[in-house]
Chain A
Amino acid sequence: MTGRRRGIRVTAIGIVLTALMLFPVYWMINVSLTPQQDMRKNPPDLLPLHPTFEGYQAVLHDQLPYLLTSLLIGLGTVALTLVLAAPAGYALAKLRPRGGGALGLALLIAQMIPGIVMAMGFYGIFLNLGLMNTWWGLIVADSTIAVPFGVLIFRAFMSGIPDELLAAARIDGAGAFRAFWSIVLPVSRNALVTVSLFSFLWAWSDFVFANTLDAGGDLRPITLGIYRYIGNNNQEWNAIMATAVVASVPAALLLVLAQRYVAAGVTAGAVKD
């Protein structure tokens, strides 16, 4: 039975390590439930013994429009990313246009360009074109985070589709577009899910583009909602942390519902070229 006992010990160590790693997340939740008068208490309450929902009421009151805007921007970014990335991934994987290799390299390099530099370039363009402070301008900017990644994921996935499948479709008289729509896309479900998840999450989390390109807009995303809370020198940390908890919901959902896609995305983004 020693092996079993050792197994239990390893699990116990694993739980302790995970708990340590997740302590900041726990603390965020704890503070979000702490009443304002206990916020500066010394020592701080390690457990939410007198939970209050003031913070969450403040979120409902102040942050709902921001959350809806983020949802809109996230979904818009997913749509734009898929429309651009899926066909291009198919072309690079299966149709192999001349110059496809160079295009792949360009995408890889595009991922390494600092967001702050892109933001500054976009700032000038948006100012000239009058796109400043529009939600769809922000969708365009946010999509630049996800499109190169998306194409590379689709390319990697679609090159695993057997050529015979496409050849059969062609013999049946399907054109390239039909083959793409009714064969390639359906079998690429996993890649579609992975790319959608990441493009949503990145758009939802974006702060640089939002703060430079949409800081004065009517529709501002949740990252700016939190930033405004902090920036006003707001001392109501339960409200700030409650907003942070709500803003983390998509990440949490993603992990619960689609964990294997997340891990696949992390590795594919790095190991793939």
Chain B
Amino acid sequence: MTLARTDHPQRSPAAFRAAPRSGTRHRRARHRKSRLTAWAFALPLVIYLAAFYVYPLYRNLDLSLRRYTVRSFVEGDAPFAGWANFDQVLHDPTFGPAIRNTLVFTLVSIAVQYGAGLALAVFFNRRFHLSGLLRALFLVPWLLPLIVSSSTWAWMLNSESGVVNHALHLVGVSPVDWLGSPHWALTSVIIANIWIGIPFNLVILYSGLQNIPADLYEAAALDGAGAWQQFRRLTFPLLRPVTMVVLLLGFVYTLKVFDLIWIMTKGGPGDSSSTLATWSYRLGFGSLLPQFGPGAAVGNVLIVIALAFGLLYTHVQRRQEA
């Protein structure tokens, strides 16, 4: 947050101010030179973005509009296919489950992450002994490589020897076939994903809470508002901008999740935990007979959804800053 506030540069370029000496022609030349300098510094990035963002995305679009085989993939002479790949994907029996699973995975994950993150942020907002250290430790799940957390959860949820089923056994619940049954696979990956996402929500919401002036709470307490009243009438409304940011970013980030599901269930059994991301990967890379075209088509559907919410996010951000 401290970084965020410094960024409102409405000033004229520094070079301008530093050149008080001569007439307009001189100044104009200087101005042009400073503009050139500016682009010289930004140019590597622009070239990089063109080569390593725009071009791969273009290739992906191209993939989704042609009929590719492994051979034509290498030689690059695949025939144009129009919307055929999209059409195929749309009528694929996996399409329905993938869309549904993506929505359930994303919405349930961000709802629970947000709820838990908010509760924890409120909890950590009162300073107590060790609070800084404990808050730091809460970041651990978010920093671990995804393959580490996914394989740990996979073993914890193992139906025979997993510690989760053991804990359920202790409270008298019969063992659940977490990763092997189509009823539970999606729930399993959601649980693991929630665990990974809580720290992000906690950190951002905590920084949002820190920006609410303490005297507001003092005033509310003087007016006789209890803890719940203070939360409902003060904290929650004042956190609304931060909430929007967390939820929208959470949506975009959760939509992308691939590693976790692929490592834990590969989207299975059947399609029971397939999302758009894992399905796209499975089409393109998951078998010996890759279907690059349809895989890319699914990827492009994913991009469109991500960008829609991404633009909504930038819109919200801009409104908040204005």
Binding site for B on A (CB under 8 A): 7-8, 10-11, 13-15, 17-18, 21-22, 24-25, 27-28, 31, 39-44, 83-85, 87-88, 90-98, 100, 103, 105-110, 112-125, 127-128, 140-141, 143-144, 147, 151, 153, 155-157, 159-160, 163, 166-167, 170-171, 176, 180, 201, 204-205, 207-208, 211-212, 222-223, 226-227, 230, 237, 240-241, 244, 247-248, 251-252, 254-255, 259, 262-264, 266-268, 270-273
Q: Which one of A24, A157, A252 has the highest number of Cβ atoms from chain B below 10 Å of its Cβ?
A: A24
CA distance A170 to B30 in the complex (A): 13
Selected contact of A44 from candidates B161, B258, B303, CB within 8 Å: B161
CA distance A72 to B154 in the complex (A): 29
Binding site for A on B (CB under 8 A): 1-4, 6-7, 9, 11, 13-15, 17-18, 34-35, 37-42, 44-46, 48-49, 52-53, 55-60, 63, 73-74, 76, 120, 123-124, 126, 128-131, 134, 136-149, 151-156, 160-161, 163, 166, 169, 195, 198-200, 203-204, 207, 242, 245-246, 249, 252, 255-256, 258-259, 263, 277, 280-281, 284-285, 292, 295-296, 299-300, 302-303, 306-307, 309-311, 314, 317-318, 321
Query: Whose C-beta in chain B lies nearest to the C-beta of A30?
Result: B163
A14 and B134 within 8 A (CB): yes
CA distance A247 to B151 in the complex (A): 12
Q: Which residues does chain B contribute within 8 Å of A157, judged by CB atoms?
A: 3, 6
Q: Which residues does chain A contribute within 8 Å of B151, judged by CB atoms?
A: 226, 230, 240-241, 244
Given the known interface contacts A92-B42, A247-B148, the answer about A176 and B37 at a Cβ–Cβ threshold of 8 Å is yes
CA distance A262 to B15 in the complex (A): 34
Q: What 7 pairs between A and B have smallest CB-CB spacing?
A: A121-B56, A95-B38, A205-B145, A91-B41, A160-B6, A88-B45, A97-B38
A17 and B120 within 8 A (CB): yes
B300 and A166 within 8 A (CB): no
Selected contact of A120 from candidates B45, B134, B259, B284, CB within 8 Å: B284
Query: Whose C-beta in chain B lies nearest to the C-beta of A230?
Result: B151
Q: Which residues does chain A contribute within 8 Å of B74, judged by CB atoms?
A: 127-128
Ordered by A's residue number, 19 sampled pairs between the chains whose C-beta atoms are within 8 Å are A18-B134, A22-B141, A24-B149, A28-B152, A40-B160, A43-B169, A87-B44, A88-B45, A113-B57, A117-B299, A117-B302, A117-B303, A125-B55, A160-B7, A205-B146, A208-B259, A223-B145, A230-B263, A259-B139
A25 and B307 within 8 A (CB): no
CA distance A22 to B3 in the complex (A): 29
Q: Which residues does chain A contribute within 8 Å of B263, judged by CB atoms?
A: 207, 227, 230
Q: Which residues does chain A contribute within 8 Å of B37, judged by CB atoms?
A: 95, 176
B255 and A114 within 8 A (CB): yes
Given the known interface contacts A8-B129, A118-B56, the answer about A248 and B258 at a Cβ–Cβ threshold of 8 Å is no
Q: Which residues does chain B contribute within 8 Å of A94, judged by CB atoms?
A: 13-14
The minimal Cβ–Cβ distance linking B318 to chain A, given in whole angstroms, is: 7
B13 and A95 within 8 A (CB): yes
The minimal Cβ–Cβ distance linking A249 to chain B, given in whole angstroms, is: 10
Q: Which residues does chain A contribute within 8 Å of B41, judged by CB atoms?
A: 87-88, 90-91, 95, 97, 176, 180
CA distance A83 to B6 in the complex (A): 23
CA distance A153 to B2 in the complex (A): 12
Instruction: Other than A25-B152, A267-B4, give 20 A-B pairs with Cβ distance below 8 A.
Output: A21-B137, A25-B140, A88-B41, A93-B7, A97-B35, A116-B258, A116-B277, A117-B299, A118-B53, A121-B56, A147-B45, A157-B6, A207-B259, A208-B259, A240-B151, A247-B148, A251-B143, A267-B207, A268-B3, A271-B3
A42 and B284 within 8 A (CB): no
Q: Which residues does chain B contribute within 8 Å of A127, judged by CB atoms?
A: 73-74
Q: Which residues does chain B contribute within 8 Å of A84, judged by CB atoms?
A: 44-45, 48
B18 and A122 within 8 A (CB): no
Given the known interface contacts A114-B255, A268-B3, A273-B321, the answer about A14 and B45 at a Cβ–Cβ threshold of 8 Å is no
A204 and B1 within 8 A (CB): no
B246 and A270 within 8 A (CB): yes
Q: Which residues does chain B contribute within 8 Å of A40, judged by CB atoms?
A: 160-161
Given the known interface contacts A10-B128, A159-B6, A163-B17, the answer about A117 and B147 at a Cβ–Cβ threshold of 8 Å is no
A266 and B281 within 8 A (CB): no
Query: Whose C-beta in chain A lies nearest to the C-beta of B60?
Result: A121
A166 and B14 within 8 A (CB): yes
Given the known interface contacts A10-B126, A247-B147, A271-B204, the answer about A128 and B245 at a Cβ–Cβ threshold of 8 Å is no
The minimal Cβ–Cβ distance linking A51 to chain B, given in whole angstroms, is: 17
The minimal Cβ–Cβ distance linking B160 to chain A, given in whole angstroms, is: 7
The minimal Cβ–Cβ distance linking A111 to chain B, given in whole angstroms, is: 8
The minimal Cβ–Cβ distance linking B276 to chain A, given in whole angstroms, is: 9
Q: Which residues does chain A contribute within 8 Å of B203, judged by CB atoms?
A: 263, 266-267
Q: Which one of B17, B160, B169 has the highest number of Cβ atoms from chain A below 10 Å of its Cβ?
A: B17
Q: Which one of B74, B152, B277 has the highest number of Cβ atoms from chain A below 10 Å of its Cβ?
A: B152
A120 and B299 within 8 A (CB): yes
Selected contact of A11 from candidates B128, B195, B306, CB within 8 Å: B128
CA distance A244 to B151 in the complex (A): 8
B163 and A120 within 8 A (CB): no
